[in-house]
Amino acid sequence: MKKHGFFDGLKLNIKFTVVVIITIAITMAVLASVLFYEQERNVINESMAYMEHKTERNESQIETCIDSINMSTQFFLADEEMLSVLNAAAEGKKLDLQRIVDFKENDIKNLERLVSNNPLLYGVRVYAAGDKISEVMPVLYTGSRMSNLEWAEAGKTGWVFGYTDTAFSALITSHRERLAGLITPITDYKNGVVGTIEAAVTMETMFPEIYEEKEAEFGFFLNDDGTVFYDESRNESTKELIDLLLTHQICSGKETCVKYIKQGGKKLVVSSLHSKKLSGTLISVQDITSNVRKVYDTRNFFVAVMIAVLVLLAFVIDFIVKRMLRQFYAILESMERVREGDLSVRIEEESSDEMGVLGHSLNDMLDKIENLMKENIDREVLAKNSEIRALQNQINAHFIYNVLESIKMMAEIEEKYDISDAITSLGKLLRYSMRWVSGNVTVGEELDYIQDYMALINLRYDYPIHLGVNIPENLMNLEIPKMSLQPLVENAILHGIEPLGVESTLYIKGQLEGDDCVIEVSDSGRGMSEEEIAILRKRIESALEVNGGKGNGIGLKNVHDRIVMAFGKGYGLSMYSKQGLYTKAVVRIPTKKADRNKVMQGGGTAN
């Protein structure tokens, strides 16, 4: 059953229009997809590069703060006078007034100067283990003062984040600033923990990323225990995004990384910076949803414009195609009339393009059809006449054979045996040449014909022409086109031996060369010059046109062409000659597969 496609039933101009529009649409869709995909990737890559730079900056800031706090803490720990004062307080000893004054004027001022010279530090404080000590602001404080702080209530040491300075009342210090501090106990081998050092910076100093008020950017610090620190003044949507991001494994075992994340309809570029020293991770986020949406909006606008352009193009292309196919439809109408039997139709040639050429070709075809119909009638008449002539030729051939037999009998009665032998050879010659053979003949049959031909040739000349044959018996059954070797013998006699007019010898030799049989026909005649043999080779190979007349090589070319037609281009006739010495014709034919084993096992015989 014939399948009906989408285009079946549509006119040709509509098919052309649809194909062109679809081709343009697919091309533009591919180009637009690549273009806008690259634009989206550029937006993402620019944001990722920005976040990588930002991560490096944050890492440098954090390292600087950590170094400042560690250095200050170590400096306080190395202060022997401070340790001595703390040990005295722990043992309940009371310091004399002079020592207290010296301690304040020397050690405390040096420590205070160290803190004030470092703009990153919020402060460095030392809290005694008890309250039996005189407070020396802003460095040394009692243990009860420390108990007002959040981290002291929780008994934390090491790094603490997000706490406020509640050591004093709100009238003295701001309780709004969030701090990040390193809590370090001061120990003595004798009295144990005699104090605690609090070295702190503001969270904004440690993590400026969290508190920067930039549009579409925010950050938060995630402690290893799962606590999240962020700018609580931000809107509720920021908190929701943070909760969503906490469900992602942003960096799996990496200290730093930058990733593009699609979350809740948002397009986010997230950088992660893990600090082993702080036991936490700083996460920075840039919301590029609006930037990506601009790319999408541009893409949608482009698609809408392209659809409008394609609709307009469809009408324009349809109009142009109709104009181009106007003569085609005229040709189609004319061919419909021809199909109905009107061969007198002729197409008007309106243009010189392909349609005009088609119309001209169809007119020529109709002319040729009329001529062929007339020639077909004449051919049928000629075929009838040929059949009659063929029947007459068959009758004439039988008549000639009977007459020759009668003459032969008369010669034998008169004991003219030379004449009888000559008539016998002539009869064989006629039977071979007039016998119809649809295929090839064997090499042996061709050689028998040449033997009869030579017998008659020697009756013609006053000088004898000898024939030598050396072809192995196993080659005698190979097939060869009829009358392939005899023209070579005839050519050798007419053009090589006859001009000399002396006794000569023709030599026919056959041998195997691989899977081929090579038969050579040589004469010891006048030969040819290099120019003559070169021209003859070109005529045989059709490189030069062969004109009518004697000695033009048409017989040799005919032999070559028939061998090529029978066996292929790898076979045929080759000519070799030396002026005044010889001429040699070489025929190359294949050995059939069926006969090859027989040929290879046989021996050679000389005739």
| Torsions phi, psi for 205 (to 5 deg) | -75, -45
Asked if residues 203 and 180 have their Cβ atoms less than 8 Å apart, the reply is yes
DSSP H stretches of helix in 212-269: 236-245
User: Could you list the residue range(s) of the whole structural domain that residue 538 is in?
Assistant: 440-601
Sheet of strand 158-163: strand arrangement = 140-141, 123-128, 192-202, 179-188, 158-163
Residue 421 counted as domain residue: no
Residue 254 counted as domain residue: yes
Report residue 6 as tokens.
Answer: 């989408």
- The closest of 312, 267, 270 to 293, measured between CA atoms, is 267
Crossing angle of helices 554-567 and 530-540, rounded to 10°? 50
pLDDT for residue 322 is more than 60:
yes
Residue-wise pLDDT for 535-545, tens only, equals 888 888 875 66
Q: What pTM value is reported for the model?
A: 0.52
pLDDT for residue 116 is more than 60:
yes
Q: Measured between alpha carbons, how far is 423 from 413 in angstroms, rounded to an integer?
A: 14
Q: Measured between alpha carbons, how far is 304 from 301 in angstroms, rounded to an integer?
A: 5
Residue 390 counted as domain residue: no
CA angle centred on 306, ends 301 and 310, rounded to 5°: 155
Residue 69 — very low, low, confident or very high, per pLDDT cuts 50/70/90? Answer: very high
Q: Measured between alpha carbons, how far is 530 from 330 in angstroms, rounded to an integer?
A: 63
Mean pLDDT of 407-411: 66
pLDDT for position 429:
62
Domain-terminating residue out of 289, 308, 337: 289
Q: Measured between alpha carbons, how far is 227 from 224 in angstroms, rounded to an integer?
A: 7
pLDDT for residue 350 is more than 70:
no
Asked if residues 326 and 356 have their Cβ atoms less than 8 Å apart, the reply is no
Report residue 84 as tokens.
Answer: 């001595």
Give me the sign of the Cα torsion angle 153, 156, 158, 160.
negative
Asked if residues 503 and 464 have their Cβ atoms less than 8 Å apart, the reply is yes
Residue-wise pLDDT for 578-598, tens only, equals 988 889 999 999 987 434 444
Residue-wise pLDDT for 376-392, tens only, equals 766 565 545 545 454 44
Report CA-CA distances (Å) from 30 to 33, 37, 185. 5, 10, 67
Residue 180 — very low, low, confident or very high, per pLDDT cuts 50/70/90? Answer: very high
pLDDT for position 172:
54
Residue 394 — very low, low, confident or very high, per pLDDT cuts 50/70/90? Answer: very low
In this structure, the strands spanning 158-163 and 504-513 are: unpaired
Residue 175 counted as domain residue: yes
Crossing angle of helices 354-413 and 417-434, rounded to 10°? 160
pLDDT for residue 313 is more than 60:
yes
Asked if residues 325 and 21 have their Cβ atoms less than 8 Å apart, the reply is no
Residue 317 counted as domain residue: no
Q: Is 553 left (phi over 0), alpha (psi -120 to 50) or beta?
A: left
DSSP H stretches of helix in 218-325: 236-245, 289-324
Strand partners, 479: 442
Asked if residues 72 and 199 have their Cβ atoms less than 8 Å apart, the reply is yes
Mean pLDDT of 151-171: 82
pLDDT for position 493:
87
pLDDT for residue 369 is more than 70:
yes
Residue 554 counted as domain residue: yes
Domain-terminating residue out of 264, 289, 314: 289
pLDDT for residue 569 is more than 70:
yes
Look at 75 and 411; give whichever has higher pLDDT. 75
- The number of distinct structural domains making up the chain is 2
Report residue 263 as tokens.
Answer: 């979350």
Residue-wise pLDDT for 182-219, tens only, equals 999 999 888 889 999 999 999 999 999 888 888 888 88
pLDDT for position 438:
46
Domain-terminating residue out of 256, 289, 322: 289
Look at 2 and 250; give whichever has higher pLDDT. 250
Residue 412 counted as domain residue: no
Residue-wise pLDDT for 477-490, tens only, equals 898 888 888 888 88
- The closest of 38, 47, 34 to 291, measured between CA atoms, is 47
CA angle centred on 264, ends 260 and 268, rounded to 5°: 25
pLDDT for position 233:
80
pLDDT for position 576:
92
pLDDT for residue 577 is more than 60:
yes
Q: Measured between alpha carbons, how far is 190 from 186 in angstroms, rounded to an integer?
A: 12
pLDDT for residue 549 is more than 70:
no
Mean pLDDT of the chain: 80
Q: Measured between alpha carbons, how far is 197 from 501 in angstroms, rounded to an integer?
A: 139
Q: Measured between alpha carbons, how far is 401 from 416 in angstroms, rounded to an integer?
A: 19
For 361-515, strand residue ranges (E) read: 441-442, 465-470, 479-480, 504-513
Residue type for position 569: K
- Residue for token pair 């969290």: 210
Residue 256 — very low, low, confident or very high, per pLDDT cuts 50/70/90? Answer: confident
pLDDT for position 360:
75
Window from 184-188, 290-294, 431-435 with minimum mean pLDDT: 431-435
pLDDT for position 433:
60
Q: Measured between alpha carbons, how far is 492 from 490 in angstroms, rounded to an integer?
A: 5
Q: Which contiguous run of DSSP H or E holds residue 97?
A: helix 97-103
Report residue 36 as tokens.
Answer: 């806008």
What three-state secondary structure class fits 585?
A: strand
Q: List for the chain the helix, strand, coil content (%; round to 5).
A: 50, 20, 30
What three-state secondary structure class fits 564?
A: helix
- The closest of 252, 251, 270, 250 to 260, measured between CA atoms, is 270
pLDDT for position 240:
80
pLDDT for position 91:
84
pLDDT for residue 2 is more than 60:
no
Residue 323 — very low, low, confident or very high, per pLDDT cuts 50/70/90? Answer: confident
Residue 233 counted as domain residue: yes
CATH value at residue 449: 3.30.565.10
Residues in the chain: 607
pLDDT for position 604:
40
CA angle centred on 197, ends 196 and 198, rounded to 5°: 120
Strand partners, 158: 183
Mean pLDDT of 465-476: 90
- The closest of 217, 230, 214 to 268, measured between CA atoms, is 217
